[in-house]
Amino acid sequence: MGKELILKTLRHEKTDAVPWVPFAGVHAGKLKGYMADEVLTDSDKLYESLMEAYKLYVPDGLPTLFDLQLEAEALGCDLLWAKNNPPSVQTHPLSGEKSIPCRCKIPTEESGRIPAVLDAMRRVKADIGDGAALYGLICGPFTLASHLRGTDIFMDMITDPGYVTELLEFCGEVAIKMSSMYLDAGMDVIAVVDPLVSQISPKHFNQILAPTFTAVFDYVRSRGAYSCFFVCGNATRQIEPMCKTNPDGISVDENVDMVKAKEITDRYNIAIGGNIPLTTTMLFGTQQDNMKCVIDLLDSMDHHNLIISPGCDMPYDTPIENTIAAAQAVKTPDAVREMIANYEGGGFEDIEIEIPDYGHLDKVLIELFTLDPEQCAACTYMVNVVKDNYEDMKDIADYVVYKYNVKEDIARTMKMGLKNLPTMCINGEPKWVSIIPSREELLEEVRRCAAR
């Protein structure tokens, strides 16, 4: 029933239940005692971890690998590996050199870690392919383009949109090739995961990105398979443009009001998935928090065209019992609703936080409120735009990075009243919310504040 439930939902048919897709990426490794780098490089360990996730979390749909750096690595980016997170991109081959990679560089079944991934996919397909819909996750073309070009791409979009379009099309060809390999290995759904889509304007999305995304989704459809468009961050204003690229489903995180987003996806008859908060609920919450969150989601929306899942890739250390509780709530909502009838939750308000006296600082204070500067691509690029240009403003500004997987930082984010991450505050004022400024915009703002 699990697999069919997902496929029916992505075909927009009526279902008896709401499907559940736990995004257990590196977290699946934790279930077998493997670290993130092990599960992302060793096909045996990946296979074992996925089988364990299938057993423990009873998923209707199961992502096989959640690593948005896989394609970038195959295309020449150096990665920084971590034990508890997917790797992050350290070098950008096209930084300082505005060119398009040769098509001969498009990954093949032999490139980088792809052979190990395909091997694990085939084995998982053979063992549980009838039970769960298997998701092949690929790096979205815009995030891949940013991996290749670095933060310059945000300025390029303004000064040389033709170049960005060409680079996007190249990354779209990579996405099509990855989709083709994953479908051949037995994947039922291709998820195009592009966190950076939330960081640009709908105008830029429509002009530069949309044709490439549409091409990828059309390709997947031509293969008789299903597609989903995953985005992270505050993608509220992108939901409609994303629908127009015609995926079968869209997936959002806690930065998006899912009830309002579903009103839009329903108009386009596209399924929507989400959006259990990754850190406050899944990582730091209790079992009751997770149950309540799922029940609240189920009770706030019509169940047609709906998938319940975490907002994005689950943190490595997510307590297993929390995920099990979320699964339980999706599978037996009536029983769980009774269990949590009087539960309130919360707890971060009690942590003491000192807010700087912004009016009396020696230097301009740049505060970067992130989900995780290594794991979340949008956060990485927002942090990097400050780091890369800090030399030019170090005499007049300080900067500090907060992470939403540290309890004190969560409390600080709440005390500042910030609703969306990443956000960059300048002297306490949220200046860029889910938008990455160009170097020029950043320097201008810092200098303006310093002159006051």
Partner 1 sequence: MIELTLLTGFLGAGKTTLLRSLLKGFENEKIGVIINEFGEINIDGVLLQKDGVEMRQLSNGSIFCACIKDKFVTGLIEMSGSGVSRLFIEASGLADPASMERILEGVREQLYTPYDYRGAICVVDAETYLDLQDVLPALRSQVEYSGAVVINKADLAGNGQVEAVSAAITELNAGAGQYVTSFCRLDFREILRRLSPVDRESRESTNTVESRPKTFVLRSAEPVERSSLLRFLRAAAPSAYRIKGFCRTAEDGMTEVSAVGTRIKLRPWEGDGAEPDLVVISSVGIRMMSLIVGALEDCGLRGKLTL
Cβ–Cβ < 8 Å for 50, 266 = no
- The DSSP string of 235-302 is -GGGHHHHHHT--SEEE--TTS-HHHHHHHHHHTT-EEEEEE-IIIIIITS-HHHHHHHHHHHHHHS-
Shortest Cβ 259–partner 1 spacing (Å): 31
Shortest Cβ 387–partner 1 spacing (Å): 30
Q: Which is nearer to partner 1, 101 or 428 (CB)?
A: 101
Q: Which two tokens stand for residue 436?
A: 């990455």
Q: Which is nearer to partner 1, 141 or 315 (CB)?
A: 141
Region of 155 on the Ramachandran plot (φ > 0 left; ψ -120 to 50 alpha; else beta)? alpha
Shortest Cβ 219–partner 1 spacing (Å): 6
What is the C-alpha separation between 228 and 251, in angstroms, rounded? 7
What distances in angstroms separate CA 117 from CA 25, 105, 202, 223, one per listed residue? Answer: 13, 19, 34, 20
Q: Which is nearer to partner 1, 218 or 317 (CB)?
A: 218
For residues 402-430, one letter each, b for 16 or more C-beta atoms within 10 angstroms of the residue's C-beta and e for the rest, the string is: bbbbeeebbbbbbebebebbbbbbbbeeb
Shortest Cβ 167–partner 1 spacing (Å): 9
Q: Which two tokens stand for residue 151?
A: 């933060």
CA nearest neighbour of 80 among 36, 47, 114, 43 = 36
Which single residue is written with the structure tokens 């971890």? 49
Query: Which spans of this chain sit near partner 1 (rule: CB under 8 A)?
Result: 99-104, 165-166, 169, 172-173, 176, 211-212, 214-216, 218-219, 221-224
Q: Which is nearer to partner 1, 71 or 253 (CB)?
A: 71
Cβ–Cβ < 8 Å for 391, 431 = no
> Residue 294, class by beta-carbon neighbours within 10 Å (0-12 exposed, 13-18 middle, 19+ buried)?
buried
What is the C-alpha separation between 123 and 43, in angstroms, rounded? 9
Shortest Cβ 101–partner 1 spacing (Å): 7
Q: Which is nearer to partner 1, 214 or 288 (CB)?
A: 214
Q: Which is nearer to partner 1, 244 or 303 (CB)?
A: 244
Q: Which is nearer to partner 1, 85 or 179 (CB)?
A: 179
Shortest Cβ 439–partner 1 spacing (Å): 25
Shortest Cβ 248–partner 1 spacing (Å): 14
What is the C-alpha separation between 249 and 4, in angstroms, rounded? 15
Q: Which is nearer to partner 1, 103 or 448 (CB)?
A: 103
Q: Which is nearer to partner 1, 140 or 315 (CB)?
A: 140
Q: Which is nearer to partner 1, 246 or 286 (CB)?
A: 246
Shortest Cβ 224–partner 1 spacing (Å): 7
CA nearest neighbour of 249 among 63, 87, 11, 1 = 11
Shortest Cβ 147–partner 1 spacing (Å): 18
Q: Which two tokens stand for residue 259?
A: 């009830």
Q: Which two tokens stand for residue 393?
A: 């403003």
Shortest Cβ 214–partner 1 spacing (Å): 5
Q: Which residues contact 92 (CB under 8 A, 6 or more apart)?
A: 77, 147, 148, 149, 150
